[in-house]
Amino acid sequence: MLRKLLHMGPLIALACALSAQVALAPPPPPVLPITIALIRHLDMGDCMNNPGTNYVVVAAELPGASACPGAQSGRFEVSGDANARVTVDLPGTTFTVNNGGAALTLTSDADPLQGNISLDGSGMLTIWVGASYKIPPGGVTTPGVYTGSSTLTVDYK
């Protein structure tokens, strides 16, 4: 019986050493889901019907463009893992808005949209969304409230 105990002693010690090594490895940190909250809607403002005029509401102004009174960019707050690198996608650069009859095509833009984008140390990122449109020469845009939608996607790299 003593022989059996002596042979089992190294096995028990080996089992303890292996379990100690496994217990020392830290668990992987949890990955927080990315959330996007709309803080305010994009508003093109009250634009005059001046043919050939470019109207714009963007974080980076376009040359030769005017903002209409009351215009404001859209604002989104993104949250997730602190300092994580992310991709921002605003698919398609144009989308159509309408007022129940007349349609208007907007060219969308976001800041930031590409490059090395990271959430900050608290896991937050602000994204500004704007758009531009041009009233065609000789064309008249029907007055009214125009609504439409576009999809903003943020994902971990």
Would you place residue 72 in the very low, low, confident or very high pLDDT band (cuts 50, 70, 90)? Answer: confident
Cβ(42)–Cβ(131) under 8 Å? Answer: yes
What pLDDT, on a 0 to 100 scale, did the predictor assign at position 76? 92
Q: Given a cut of 50, is residue 17 above it in pLDDT? A: no
Count of structural domains, the chain: 1
Q: What is the pTM of this model?
A: 0.70
Residue 41 has pLDDT above 80, yes or no: yes
- The answer as to whether 6 is a domain residue is no
pLDDT tops 70 at residue 13 = no
Amino acid at 128: W
Q: Does residue 30 fall inside a structural domain?
A: no
| pLDDT one-digit tens code per residue, 97-154 | 888 777 878 888 777 777 679 999 999 999 988 887 777 666 666 777 888 888 889 9
Could you tell me if residue 12 is inside a domain?
no
Bigger pLDDT: 61 vs 78:
78
Higher pLDDT, 124 or 65: 124
CA distance 67 to 57: 6
Domain contains 81 = yes
The answer as to whether 7 is a domain residue is no
Residue 129: per-residue pLDDT: 84
155 with 34: CB under 8 angstroms?
A: yes
Is 14 part of a structural domain of the chain? no
Tell me, yes or no, whether 17 lies in a domain: no
Is there a domain that residue 19 lies in?
no
pLDDT greater at residue 5 or residue 55? 55
Residue 109 near residue 58 (C-beta atoms within 8 A) = yes
- Domain of 103, in residue numbers: 35-156
CATH number of domain containing 142:
2.60.40
